[in-house]
């Protein structure tokens, strides 16, 4: 069993009734997201409450009506999966930090300075986010927050999302070796394996990855590669 002192409340309201269990925050969230967790590692007490803080236990009649069972563990499982889990401050902060990094990485990969067409360094984006006082919502979708972050960043940092089409030609010695790298940077729009062993094609990728792409492909092909931007959109 989990320590009661460290437990949080998972709550479900159903049939005009309130049901609560005391749980380990991390394990309860993992269970809610579909991971198989032993209920002994989830629950702090083998009881279902109507008010955990007051110690008021739910009746078997109420449990049977809502959960179609009087089994405590099954009832608790339903409360966790269908209800809400009270998050600890530590867990909220972890979620915020994960989403903050995801937002910055998406902007770094896709965004460029409109004047130089080069990506802004990650530390510059981090500083601009702080200066803009952008608040990361631990629950809102990352994609939505990226758009909100861009609105806040643009008065501070010139930035624009770009997609580039880059024509690439690689010699026979390195074509096969570099193919997986080519695919990892974007979408291959068209390609041709030539009779002399050369590979040529056009790759569509986020604008912020262009310089990284050149560095990576040159390191693999030892300079035996041709690449140029065909289109920016």
Q: Which fold has domain 4-85?
A: 3.30.1250
Task: Supply the DSSP symbol for 5.
Answer: G
Over residues 112-127, the mean pLDDT reads: 92
Predicted confidence band at 5 (pLDDT cuts at 50, 70, 90)?
confident
Predicted confidence at residue 6, as pLDDT, reads 86
d(CA 186, CA 165): 10
Predicted confidence at residue 194, as pLDDT, reads 92
The hierarchical CATH code for the domain 89-160 is 1.10.10.900
Cβ 11 vs Cβ 79: under 8 Å: yes
Over residues 164-172, the mean pLDDT reads: 95
Strand partners of residue 57: 49
Length of the chain: 233
* Class of CATH domain 163-232: alpha beta
Predicted confidence at residue 2, as pLDDT, reads 76
Per-residue tokens: 97: 């930090």
Query: Is pLDDT above 80 for 152?
Result: yes
Tracing tokens 């449990």 back to the chain, one arrives at 63
Query: Is pLDDT above 80 for 207?
Result: yes
Predicted confidence at residue 140, as pLDDT, reads 86
d(CA 10, CA 79): 7
Mean pLDDT of the chain: 93
Regarding predicted confidence, which is higher, 141 or 166?
166
């Amino acid at each position: 069993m989990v320590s009661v002192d460290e437990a949080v409340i998972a709550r479900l309201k159903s049939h005009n009734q309130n049901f609560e269990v005391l749980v380990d925050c991390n394990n309860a969230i993992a269970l809610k997201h579909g991971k198989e967790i032993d209920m002994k590692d989830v629950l702090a007490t083998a009881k279902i409450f109507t008010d955990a803080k007051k110690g008021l236990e739910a009746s078997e009649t109420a449990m049977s009506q809502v959960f179609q069972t009087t089994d405590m563990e099954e009832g608790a499982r339903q409360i966790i999966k269908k209800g809400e889990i009270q998050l600890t401050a530590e867990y909220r902060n972890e979620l915020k930090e994960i989403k903050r990094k995801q937002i910055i990485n998406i902007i770094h990969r896709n965004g460029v300075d409109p004047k130089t067409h080069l990506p802004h360094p990650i530390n510059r984006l981090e500083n601009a986010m702080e200066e803009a006082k952008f608040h990361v919502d631990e629950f809102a979708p990352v994609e939505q927050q990226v758009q909100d972050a861009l609105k806040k960043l643009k008065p501070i940092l010139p930035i624009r999302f770009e997609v580039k089409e880059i024509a690439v030609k690689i010699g026979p010695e390195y074509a096969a070796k570099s193919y997986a790298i080519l695919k990892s940077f974007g979408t291959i729009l068209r390609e041709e394996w030539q009779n002399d062993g050369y590979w040529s094609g056009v790759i569509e990728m986020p604008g912020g990855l262009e310089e990284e792409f050149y560095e990576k492909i040159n390191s693999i092909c030892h300079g035996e590669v041709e690449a140029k931007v065909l289109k920016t959109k």
